[in-house]
Amino acid sequence: MKAQEKTDQVTPEVRERVQSSFDRQGLMTHLGARLTRIEPGRVHITLPSRPEVTQQNGYVHAGATSAIADSAGGYAAFTLFPDDTSVLTVEYKINLLAPAEGDHVEAVGTVLKPGRTLTVCNLEVFAVRDGERKLVATGQQTLICVPKRPDQ
């Protein structure tokens, strides 16, 4: 079943599995990122703009932008994976379209093509200032479902 055909709610078990895995990511904790939306095949991650995640001109660093995009896509895929599996990124490409400046940045990962082994996701990152969103990065990602290796 395609992600678009699923309901817009994940089960409490999937929500807990995704949140628990996210909470164990040292980089996301270090950056101050947080999960803000979990749906079947779609995840949002928000990163507040602060000096520790910026580059020399005050924009959110491309490394931080790319990291939250990678995690958003990974967890979007993970919402569709069986319980006894784990997720790993196989590859991703990101295009930086504009400087990421604002109150925060928000990465949105959306499953384009789910699969038993490989899943492809669309990645978008928006800079948000005073509630207005501006697309600052876009990309695509391939993830692998690692069987019989629960993400614990």
pLDDT band at 11 (very low <50, low <70, confident <90, very high): very high
81: left (phi over 0), alpha (psi -120 to 50) or beta: beta
Take residue 71 and report the two structure tokens written for it. 């995690």
Residues constituting the chain: 152
pLDDT digits (tens, 9 = 90+) for 41-88: 999 999 999 999 999 999 999 999 999 999 999 999 999 999 999 999
Expressed in angstroms, the distance from the first to the final Cα of the chain is: 26
- With the C-alpha atoms ordered 129, 133, 136, 141, is the resulting torsion angle positive or negative? positive
Mean residue pLDDT across the chain? 94
**Domain residue spans in the chain?**
3-146
CA 97 to chain CA centroid, Å, is 18
Q: Which of 22-31, 96-105, 128-137, 143-152 is least confident?
A: 143-152
Find the mean pLDDT for residues 110-128: 97
Domain 3-146 is in which class? Answer: alpha beta
- Cα–Cα distance measured from residue 104 to residue 111, given in angstroms and rounded to the nearest whole number: 23
CB contact burial 78-108 (16+ within 10 A = b; e otherwise): bbbbeeeebbeeeebebeeeeebbbebbbbb
User: Residue 133: what pLDDT?
Assistant: 97
Model confidence at 120: pLDDT above 90: yes
- What global pTM score does this model have? 0.92
- With the C-alpha atoms ordered 55, 59, 63, 68, is the resulting torsion angle positive or negative? positive
The half-sphere exposure of 59 on its side-chain side, counting CA atoms within 13 A, is 14
